[in-house]
């Protein structure tokens, strides 16, 4: 059985031939299993090609970003776990062959596979998390704005980290989001999120932002570069613990809470799908069947942040 793989310039053909031989002879894998491993490895190589990553110098953070990208693309936890299993196999082989000094996948975690529903935070719990943030510091102002944007706009982690100032239309009440598959969508943004953003922009003026990073909305207060997925995961875990939230939450929890709260409030399901940028609704369908002003009405009418007390 012949196996073809693109982007072979990233990994030498001799390495790939030896890896296939290793899987076939030492692991006794069948042709079908070999084909699956190669297809999964192709996903990693495509990611390396897009990101300009040297496979011999890859870090755990970069591998975590790859895993996060799979989730953002809608790959199921089970499929993600299978792909990461193949990634570990490849790097174990490279380590055995002395192609790399250490195996970067040793601490790489796979998603939990189960039938339980994702955690949902109540509005009171979200307020508790925001309440423990020290807003006397610039990073505190930033972190409140981050959490509010995740919850009020239902953004993916990658979408938030890559959000640009040039993508904000705050006077009109919209932001432009660059989603998976390089598709763009307009997402309504509510009053509370706009307030937090403007407060953050005042604090942001005191930060020395690195050249080329000026257009990113959220930047590190120490490094001056746009925020990474890992740093965002870390500080949300810390704030949740400080707020005594017992649920196992991540940045994605705020996105799921956004959708759940809108559904519970009676929002139109198709409007929610469009705002989330789910892949089963194309960009064309969004603009043909759902009026932008109606999207804004849905979020203003049904999101808890906008309900009159």
Structure tokens at 148: 């509010």
For residue 131, pLDDT over 90 is answered with yes
pLDDT of residue 283: 28
Work out the average pLDDT over 207-211: 94
* Angle between helices 251-264 and 123-131 in degrees, nearest 10: 140
For residue 76, pLDDT over 50 is answered with yes
At the topology level, CATH places domain 123-306 in: hpI Integrase; Chain A (1.10.443)
219: left (phi over 0), alpha (psi -120 to 50) or beta: beta
The mean pLDDT of the chain is 82
Query: Which residue reads 């017992």 in tokens?
Result: 246
Length of the chain: 309
Work out the average pLDDT over 169-193: 88
HSE (CB half, 13 Å, CA atoms) of 59?
A: 5
Catalytically active residues, by annotation: 156, 180, 252, 255, 278, 287
Strand order in 168-169's β-sheet?
A: 168-169, 174-178, 184-188
Specify the higher pLDDT residue, 143 or 11: 143
Structure tokens at 136: 């006397």
For residue 212, pLDDT over 90 is answered with yes
Top-level class of domain 13-96? mainly alpha
Among candidate residues 133, 126, 119, the one with its CA nearest the CA of residue 152? 126
Angle at 198 between CA 194 and CA 199, to 5 degrees: 115
> Which 3-state string (H, E, C) describes 257-307?
HHHHHHHHCCCCHHHHHHHHCCCCCCHHHHHHHCCHHHHHHHHHHHCHHHC
Strand stretches in the chain, DSSP E: 168-169, 174-178, 184-188
Predicted confidence band at 290 (pLDDT cuts at 50, 70, 90)?
very low
Work out the average pLDDT over 279-304: 50
Domain spans of the chain, in order of start: 13-96, 123-306
For residue 288, pLDDT over 50 is answered with no
Angle at 61 between CA 134 and CA 163, to 5 degrees: 55
pLDDT of residue 243: 96
Work out the average pLDDT over 138-159: 94
Tens-place pLDDT, residues 224-280:
999 988 889 899 999 999 999 988 888 888 988 888 788 777 766 677 777 888 754
pTM: 0.57
- The Cα–Cα gap between 136 and 133 comes to 9
């Amino acid at each position: 059985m012949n196996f073809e793989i693109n982007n072979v310039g990233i990994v030498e053909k001799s390495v790939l031939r030896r890896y296939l031989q290793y899987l076939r002879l030492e692991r006794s894998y069948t042709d079908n299993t070999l084909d699956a491993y190669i297809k999964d490895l192709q996903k990693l190589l495509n990611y390396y090609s897009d990101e300009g990553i040297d496979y011999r110098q890859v870090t755990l953070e970069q591998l975590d970003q790859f895993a996060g990208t799979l989730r953002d693309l809608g790959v199921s936890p089970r499929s993600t776990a299978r792909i990461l299993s193949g990634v570990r196999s490849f790097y174990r082989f490279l380590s055995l062959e002395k192609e790399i000094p250490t195996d970067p996948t040793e601490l790489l975690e796979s998603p939990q596979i189960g039938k339980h529903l994702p955690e949902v935070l109540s509005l009171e719990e979200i307020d508790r998390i925001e309440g423990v943030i020290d807003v006397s510091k610039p990073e505190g102002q930033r972190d409140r704005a981050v959490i509010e944007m995740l919850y009020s706009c239902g953004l993916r982690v990658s979408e938030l980290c890559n959000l640009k100032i040039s993508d904000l239309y705050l006077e009109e009440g919209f932001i432009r989001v660059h989603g998976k598959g390089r598709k763009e969508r307009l997402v309504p943004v509510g009053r509370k999120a706009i307030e937090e953003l403007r407060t953050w922009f005042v604090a942001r003026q005191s930060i020395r932002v690195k050249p080329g990073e000026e257009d990113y909305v959220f930047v590190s207060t120490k490094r001056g570069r746009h925020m990474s997925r890992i740093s965002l995961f870390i500080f949300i875990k810390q704030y949740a613990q400080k707020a005594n939230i017992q649920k196992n939450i991540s940045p994605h929890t705020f996105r799921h809470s956004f959708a759940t709260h809108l559904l519970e409030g009676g929002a139109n399901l198709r409007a929610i799908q469009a705002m989330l940028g789910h892949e089963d609704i194309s960009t064309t369908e969004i603009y043909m069947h759902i009026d932008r002003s109606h999207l804004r009405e849905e979020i203003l009418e049904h999101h808890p942040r906008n309900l009159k007390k």
